[in-house]
Amino acid sequence: MNQVYYFTAISGIVMDYQNMTDEALVKLTLKNPEMFYHLMQRYEQKLLRYIRYFSSIDEQSAEDVVQETFLNAYKSLNSFDPDMKFSSWIYRIARNETVDFLRKNLNKKKVISLESNNENDLQLIDLLKSDVDVLKDVKTAEMKNKVRAIISAMPKEYKEVLILRYMEEKGYNEIGDILQKPSGTVAILISRAKSYFKDVAIKYGLDLLI
């Protein structure tokens, strides 16, 4: 078994961080700040990916945003309420930090072209294919470009819910907690985003299953 376990003795008890829930680690962090390192490690790559998908900012900027996210999360750790998932909480902070970053850098050329964010959009295309029932096959370069263009041109709120639902695999309630919207609204947004995708795909002349 290649799984790596982290063991530390706190108050004479041997702790297995790998199998601990995020919420348990938060409690431990409030007693011992070093525990926060394990939480950050769990979310570092996830948040980097999410921020890049969501905002299409360059890698360096995304790293800066993740650092700010972790620092803010640590400082406001006491505001975390176990009534929601830790992952939803930290994604919310990451989202707010990203929006803040985008607002501050609106006129600076730190945001890269959406079309150049190939890997991210292609992954979303693959995930959408399985759910949207629109595309027979997206294999040719031309089709990929068309689908990528559709996703890039999507209203931000649609793109955001699709990313959270299909790439981050969040449930409606979790997305609601991240976006601070009722889960019913999230369901409507996802449905509209998929309809939008279908409609635009038809306009682009993509092969349909219908």
Partner 1 sequence: MVDLSKKVFEKIKKDHLTPTSAWHYVLPNVLKWIWIVVVVIMAAVSTALILWEFQLNDVDMNRLAADDFWEFMYFNVPYLWVVLLIIFGGLAHLIYKYTKFGYRHCRWTVFTVLGGFIVLFGITLCVSELAEPVDSVLRENFSMYDDIEVEESQRWDMPSKGILVGSVTAVNDKIIVLERLNEEEWIVDISEVKGDREEKLMVGAFLRILGNQTGDYLFKASKIALWKRVFGGSRQES
Residue closer to partner 1, measured from CB, 70 or 197: 70
Stretch that binds partner 1, among 4-12, 66-74, 162-170, 196-204 (CB under 8 A): 66-74
154 touches 54 (CB < 8 A): no
3-state per-residue secondary structure call for 96-116: HHHHHHHHHCCCCCCECCHHH
Contacts of 31 (CB under 8 A, 6+ apart): 10
**Helix runs in 56-180, H state only:** 59-75, 86-104, 118-132, 141-153, 156-162, 172-179
Stretch that binds partner 1, among 98-106, 109-117, 152-160, 181-189 (CB under 8 A): 181-189
Binding of residue 181 to partner 1 (CB under 8 A): yes
- Total number of residues binding partner 1 (CB under 8 A)? 32
Shortest distance, CB of residue 101 to partner 1, whole angstroms?
Answer: 15
Q: Strand 13-16 relative to strand 7-10: parallel, antiparallel, unpaired? A: antiparallel
Shortest distance, CB of residue 53 to partner 1, whole angstroms?
Answer: 17
Binding of residue 4 to partner 1 (CB under 8 A): no
Stretch that binds partner 1, among 63-71, 139-147, 149-157, 196-204 (CB under 8 A): 63-71
